[in-house]
């Protein structure tokens, strides 16, 4: 339909406050047609909806996290929706803004994987910082799912940041230790792995141990692996490496077959940023902080509140003993 007609229908709906049924009677169309045309008017730019957003940051929770856990920095944003997908988008937008503001010339930026990191790159814009490098921190070649895997994410981050890309052309999990050792000794792989200890920034997703977690959906780990890990006390995973509530590493059936940066190497970075939030991420985030794998957290207000409440609960129980 032509833009003039779309504008007329949109005017009746948004300005005159007529219902879709009333508009349908006025212009001789069905209600379903009016609904479709209103959507079209927005899609083609006849209607532009702007929301005057207030400060989206929960500064009191940011200070609470920094004080409770000794973090270098924290960014906590209010949830704009209730579904985890919506929360990931809100956190992703905030993390993209944070990176643009904090990267400096010459930074080497390590990237892991995850759905929230995918949202970050959707909002990422080229920063003022120059001579940047993006380094892939975990293998992933051969994975079948789209857009959340390490090599694709690293490539997209490099493009968004105008950075030089250092790709790790290897799977995350291989057949046995011998195969891993051979791959790790190849020149193209060592070029990347030798950068892991000298990263200035790490951007990491933090996974939980649900059956819907990326590592299990991708087939990198089996349901039997999941059961064993949960039984051993694992609550979180970064770069294919699992840890318990205290942040201590939990042995995995695939430990000797994984091609990924050791979590301990993240401690050398100037800024190691955990980007995660939603209904299942408070405990894994807590554990990652306790393990010293991150010194900066970007999350949502509900997750931050749950993290602080868990700490306060432990302190209260300790005080009564």
Looking at the structure, tell me whether residues 153 and 302 fall in a common domain: yes
Q: Look at residue 299 and tell me if it is in a domain.
A: yes
Looking at the structure, tell me whether residues 131 and 26 fall in a common domain: no
**pTM exceeds 0.75, yes or no:** yes
Q: What pLDDT shows up at residue 16? A: 84
What stretches in the chain show pLDDT beneath 50?
A: 143-147, 318
Distance from C-alpha of 120 to C-alpha of 215, rounded to nearest angstrom: 19
Q: Give strand pairing partners of 201.
A: 109, 271
Which residue, 105, 80, 131, is CA-closest to 301? 80
Q: What pLDDT shows up at residue 141? A: 59
Cα distances from 71 to residues 2, 44, 68, 92, 296, in angstroms, run 55, 45, 8, 20, 6
Q: Look at residue 161 and tell me if it is in a domain.
A: yes
Q: What pLDDT shows up at residue 70? A: 96
Q: What pLDDT shows up at residue 129? A: 93
Output helix, strand, coil percentages for the chain, rounded to the nearest 5: 45, 15, 40
Q: What pLDDT shows up at residue 312? A: 74
Distance from C-alpha of 61 to C-alpha of 301, rounded to nearest angstrom: 7
DSSP β-ladder status, 201-204 and 234-238:
unpaired
Question: What CATH number corresponds to the domain at position 243?
Answer: 3.40.50.1360
Q: What pLDDT shows up at residue 49? A: 77
**Number of structural domains in the chain:** 2
Q: What pLDDT shows up at residue 147? A: 45
Cα distances from 103 to residues 125, 223, 270, in angstroms, run 12, 39, 11
| Domain limits for position 264 | 59-319
Question: What CATH number corresponds to the domain at position 10?
Answer: 1.10.10.10
Looking at the structure, tell me whether residues 99 and 66 fall in a common domain: yes
Note the pLDDT tens digit of each residue in 201-258: 999 999 998 866 777 777 778 888 888 999 999 999 999 999 999 999 999 888 899 9
Q: Look at residue 51 and tell me if it is in a domain.
A: no
Looking at the structure, tell me whether residues 161 and 236 fall in a common domain: yes
Looking at the structure, tell me whether residues 113 and 66 fall in a common domain: yes
Q: What pLDDT shows up at residue 149? A: 79
Q: What pLDDT shows up at residue 145? A: 47
Q: Per-residue DSSP letters for 161-197?
A: HT-EEE---S-SB-SSHHHHHHHHTSHHHHHHHTTGG
* DSSP code at position 212: T
Q: Look at residue 73 and tell me if it is in a domain.
A: yes
């Amino acid at each position: 339909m032509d833009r003039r007609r779309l504008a007329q229908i949109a005017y009746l709906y948004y300005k005159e406050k007529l219902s879709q049924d009333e508009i349908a009677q006025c212009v001789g169309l069905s209600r379903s047609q009016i609904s479709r045309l209103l959507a079209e008017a927005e899609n083609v730019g006849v209607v532009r909806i702007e929301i005057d957003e207030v400060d989206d940051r929960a500064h009191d929770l940011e200070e609470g996290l920094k004080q409770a856990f000794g973090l270098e920095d924290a960014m906590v944003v209010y949830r704009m929706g209730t579904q985890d997908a919506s929360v990931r988008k809100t956190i992703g937008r905030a993390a993209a803004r944070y990176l643009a503001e904090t990267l400096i010339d010459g930074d080497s930026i390590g990237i892991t994987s995850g759905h929230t990191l995918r949202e970050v790159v959707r909002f990422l814009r080229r920063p003022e910082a120059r001579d940047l490098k993006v380094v892939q921190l975990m293998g992933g070649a051969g994975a079948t799912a789209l857009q959340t895997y390490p090599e694709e994410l690293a490539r997209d981050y490099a493009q968004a940041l105008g950075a030089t890309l250092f790709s790790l052309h290897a799977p995350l999990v291989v057949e046995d230790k011998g195969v891993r050792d051979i791959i790790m000794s190849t020149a193209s792989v060592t070029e990347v792995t030798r950068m892991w200890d000298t990263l200035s920034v790490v951007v990491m997703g933090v996974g939980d141990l649900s059956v819907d977690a990326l590592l299990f959906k991708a087939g990198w780990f089996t349901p039997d692996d999941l059961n064993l890990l949960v039984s051993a006390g694992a609550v979180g995973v970064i770069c294919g490496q699992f840890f318990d509530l205290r942040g201590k590493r939990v042995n995995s059936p695939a430990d000797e077959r994984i091609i990924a940066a050791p979590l301990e190497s993240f401690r050398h970075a100037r800024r190691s940023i955990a980007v995660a939030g939603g209904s299942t991420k408070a405990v894994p985030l807590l554990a990652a902080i306790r393990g010293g794998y991150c010194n900066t957290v970007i999350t949502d207000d509900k997750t931050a509140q749950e993290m602080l409440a868990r700490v306060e609960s432990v302190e209260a129980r300790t005080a009564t003993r």
